[in-house]
Structure 1
Amino acid sequence: MRFIGFIMFFIYVYLEVSFFIIVANTMGIFLALICIIATSILGFSLVKSQGLNNLSIMQQKIANNQSPKNEIFKSVALLFAGFFLLIPGFLTDILGIILLIPHVQKHIVEFIVRKIPITSKFSSSQTHDQDSDIIEGEFKHKSDE
């Protein structure tokens, strides 16, 4: 079982280096390196701006007592996109850019939300059901003296 991760890593490295060689033969090594660095910088700035926008949407939903679960999953997709964009290589850059597309994020979030049952309670009312496990009361702390 340990060797599967090891083999997958070397397959990834082989594919990444092969793709870099193909691109470098087409465009030139210097231009290929500039493209990798540029996509890392561009991807980082895009993830930062979209992440801050997503954070403000989450704060608004929490303030309106709505569930921010879709935005949380979108934030995870942005985190992975940023991670893939920061790793040098064209294949990971392509995967990171795909994760930055809002339409793709929407489908990923909908897929995850359907697969993972998440319940949340966002309500401002103080009413409790009779079947609730909450017991209200008062207590006083007395010392053992």
Structure 2
Amino acid sequence: MPLIILFILSSFLFIYLELSLLVWIGSHIGIIGLILLLILSSFVGLLMIRARGWYTLFNVQKQLAQGEIPARSLLKSGIWIVAGALFFIPGFLTDILAILLLIPAVQRLFEQFILNKVRFFSAKFSANSHRTFYRQNGQEGEVFEAEYEKQVDDDKRIK
């Protein structure tokens, strides 16, 4: 429950700061300048999303053709697409967050954070699994051959 309240309060604070920044900038440069900046920001975000999508498509195809796993490339492209979406949302606070995401040092921190979360979840799920379909210690496992026949229970009763 406290987490929900924190999320709601932070959302209202974000909206309040965003609107206050819009009013402050609008009072300094005028309403036409504000609208033009918001349109320009949205246009930049749309171009970023579109360009990064094409770049990702070609880069992933190239890496797959070379036999590489494109995880890092997909993660970087995801960060760029999130930055583009933040640019597309009207407001200057979201634009500041998008610019922060485009800084290489912040991107590396964000990548590390996401990779740590993925490793945590994959370790959590794989630790509970005791089955493996791979060779263990370089030895072949035993192979059991069997035949089965599907039978239909006509009276559908538990026996």
Moved more, 74-83 or 23-32: 74-83
Give how far 1:51 is off.
2.2
Amino acid at match of 1:108: F
TM-score (norm 1): 0.73
Q: Is the partner of 2:55 in helix, strand or coil? A: helix
Distance in 2, Cα, partners of 1:50 & 1:29: 31
Give how far 1:144 is off.
6.2
1:90-109 → structure 2 map (5 Å cutoff) = 90-101=92-103, 104-106=106-108, 108-109=110-111
CA contact (8 A) 2:22 2:92 kept: yes
Q: 1:31 maps to which residue?
A: 33
1:130 to 2:150 alignment:
no
Larger radius of gyration: 2
TM-score (norm 2): 0.67
Distance in 2, Cα, partners of 1:103 & 1:50: 19
Distance in 2, Cα, partners of 1:101 & 1:44: 19
Distance in 2, Cα, partners of 1:134 & 1:35: 66
Distance in 1, Cα, partners of 2:50 & 2:75: 16
Aligned residues: 136
Q: 1:28 to 1:73 in 2, by over 3 A?
A: same
Unmatched tracts of structure 2, length 5 or more:
123-132, 153-159
| Identity level (%) | 30
Amino acid at match of 1:54: T
Q: 1:57 maps to which residue?
A: 59
Q: RMSD of the alignment, in Å?
A: 3.3
Distance in 2, Cα, partners of 1:97 & 1:134: 54
Q: 1:130 to 1:34 in 2, by over 3 A?
A: same
